[in-house]
């Protein structure tokens, strides 16, 4: 059962449309779809919204810390609401997938992603679920840091947003605890 959906990104206008902010982008689209707004929550070091789905309430959290300090926000929220790691889905950018590919994963390492690294360090466990949003690899000669902090092209961002709206159809399955079916359906239908 998923109770908390965390989108990873960097705060501020400068980073708003960057590839590294794929997690924020998904949460912003879900909030827009459900007509809810985020509010600043100082005690959780982030922005918070709540959506009501058929399976109940789902919290949306965008850490207002920079990417490499995301764990502070996530762990403080989880402690306050007594949410277990297996009830969390973290949405993040993934270099190893083509732009727009969406893949669910349960547990695992950080794969060099600083946001995941900090969440794992803060929680002391790796047992949370992830939605990996493909952003592709930089062209030869371009630094990875420069690439992830550059904006999506208009075509890519439109494609990614369309996939997000398809993913929203699986939220009730995830929230209801049917992770395996959601993963099977997502991986077979969203390309």
Q: Among positive and negative, which fits the CA dihedral 106, 109, 113, 115?
A: positive
Q: Taking a C-beta distance cutoff of 8 angstroms, is the pair 73, 45 a contact?
A: yes
Whether 20 is a known active-site residue: answer: yes
Burial class of residue 126 in the structure, from the number of CB atoms within 10 Å of its CB (0-12 exposed, 13-18 middle, 19+ buried): middle
Residues 6+ apart with CB under 8 A from 172: 53, 54, 55
Q: Taking a C-beta distance cutoff of 8 angstroms, is the pair 15, 149 a contact?
A: yes
| Residue of 20, 92, 110, 187 marked active site | 20
The length of the chain in residues reads 191
C-alpha dist (Å) from residue 43 to 11, 47, 124: 16, 10, 20
| Catalytic residue IDs | 20
């Amino acid at each position: 059962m998923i109770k908390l959906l965390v989108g990873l990104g960097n705060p501020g206008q400068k980073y708003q449309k960057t590839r590294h902010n794929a997690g924020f982008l998904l949460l912003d689209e879900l909030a827009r779809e459900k007509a809810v707004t985020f509010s600043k929550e100082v005690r959780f070091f982030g922005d918070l919204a709540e959506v009501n789905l058929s399976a109940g309430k789902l919290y949306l959290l965008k850490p207002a810390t920079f990417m490499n300090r995301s764990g502070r926000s996530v762990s403080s929220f989880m402690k306050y609401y007594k949410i277990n790691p297996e009830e969390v889905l973290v949405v993040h950018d993934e270099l190893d997938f083509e732009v727009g590919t969406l893949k669910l994963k349960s547990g695992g390492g950080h794969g060099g992603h600083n946001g995941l690294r900090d969440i794992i360090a803060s929680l002391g466990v790796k047992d949370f679920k992830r939605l990996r949003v493909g952003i592709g690899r930089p062209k030869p000669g371009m630094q990875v840091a420069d690439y992830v902090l550059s904006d999506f092209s208009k075509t890519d961002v439109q494609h990614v947003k369309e996939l997000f709206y398809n993913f929203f159809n699986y939220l009730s399955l995830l929230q209801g605890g049917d992770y395996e079916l959601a993963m099977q359906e997502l991986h077979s239908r969203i390309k």
